Amino acid sequence: MNILVTGATGFIGSNVARALVQRGHQVRCLVRRGADLRPLQYLPVEVWLGDILDPATLPSALEDQQAVVHLVGILKERPPALTYQRVHVEGTRNLVEAAKAAGVQRFLYMSGNGAAEGPKYPYLHTKWQAEELVKVSGIPWTILRPSIVTGPGDGFFNQLADIVRHPPSGGRTMAPVVPVISSGGCRYSPIHVEDLARCTAQAAVDPAFAARTVVLGGLQRFTYRELLRLTMDAIGVHRPIVPLPVWFMRLIVPTMPLLYKDPPLTPALLEMALLDNVAESDSVQANFGFEPRRIAEHLGYLTANP
């Protein structure tokens, strides 16, 4: 099958492109001009210049494509160019309309666990809006909602490791303590990126997944505090964990751009961090028929980024 993948140069996207190629599909990767193509350099994929925010670039990209795997998303806004509304909603609308005009037969959208209507959580709200656009497109669709995604190059455990290693000043000395929001009791169901990619490659073409929204996570649930402990064990650096009240975090998070070039939290992400992000422990087995890997056994990649 000919499949167009958006977001293919990203952490999840490059793994999905690889999984699709391994299943024998012809993969075309929509990439923006100037994108870092190194994640795709060893894959037999077709690189196609285009941008979901530029509708004029999409018809040619979709020519002769039977399916779309839409993975583009942002966790942190960089206005005015990159906002949740522009990327998640307007970008998805552009792609859906072009895919419908091109006669695409399947459309898979990678959403986020907890996507729901409500402006309190703009990331989740715009993901939900994008889901609704996909559902009314008239194209047979599938929506995947993963919990946090881990693996070499991830933005979650690598960020935890950096927080453990370095103080809030951003220096290179060891941090005396590791702060957590409230008690650090919010729960997660981490799923390895290769397992998510395998699920995505199957769901993108299997008619059994049409008109379905599937929440995905790993075998185990962990609290944020437990994930910090796993990270400390993996990198061999242990620090006391100090809870900070939510009201205090709401005061200091807006000032983080003064300390960090790329702040670990934004006000929008802080509010999301107060929510559980879990899936059923058998979500992969029940839907895709295989057992995902246990995250604690696959954190060795963190030692490569001291």
How far apart are alpha carbons 97 and 102 in whole angstroms?
Answer: 9
**39 phi and psi angles, rounded to 5 deg:** -65, -15
- Bridging pattern class, strands 141-146 and 212-216: parallel
Same domain, 56 and 176: no
Same domain, 194 and 167: no
Same domain, 198 and 56: yes
Same domain, 63 and 46: yes
Residue 43 lies in a domain: yes
Asked if 48 and 22 touch (Cβ cutoff 8 Å), the reply is no
pLDDT value for 206: 97
Residue 283 lies in a domain: no
- HEC string of 69-137 equals EECCCCCCCECCCECHHHHHHHHHHHHHHHHHHHCCCEEEEECCCCCCCCCCCHHHHHHHHHHHHHHCC
Same domain, 11 and 41: yes
Same domain, 194 and 271: no
Same domain, 174 and 207: no
Residue 66 lies in a domain: yes
Secondary structure of residue 182 in the 3-state scheme:
coil
pLDDT value for 285: 98
Same domain, 95 and 105: yes
pLDDT value for 168: 58
Query: For the chain, which ranges sit under pLDDT 70?
Result: 167-175, 305-306
Same domain, 47 and 163: no
Can you give the residue range of the structural domain that contains 258? Answer: 157-188+220-277+294-304
pLDDT value for 306: 57
End-to-end CA distance of the chain: 41
Same domain, 261 and 298: yes
Number of separate domains in the chain: 2
pLDDT value for 166: 80
- Supply the CATH number for residue 79's domain: 3.40.50.720
Residue 130 lies in a domain: yes
Asked if 48 and 3 touch (Cβ cutoff 8 Å), the reply is no
- Supply the CATH number for residue 224's domain: 3.90.25
User: Can the peptide bond before residue 80 be classed as cis, meaning omega within 30 degrees of 0?
Assistant: yes
Note the pTM of the prediction, 2 decimals: 0.94
pLDDT value for 239: 92
Residue 282 lies in a domain: no
pLDDT value for 154: 95
Q: What is the pLDDT of residues 30-65, one digit of tens each?
A: 999 999 999 999 999 999 999 999 999 999 999 999
Same domain, 47 and 120: yes
Same domain, 32 and 145: yes
Q: Who contacts 302 (Cβ-Cβ below 8 Å, separation ≥6)? A: 157, 158, 161, 231, 234, 235
Residue 242 lies in a domain: yes
Q: Tokens 């809006």: give the residue.
A: 129
Q: What is the pLDDT of residues 239-274, one digit of tens each?
A: 999 999 999 999 999 998 888 788 888 999 999 999
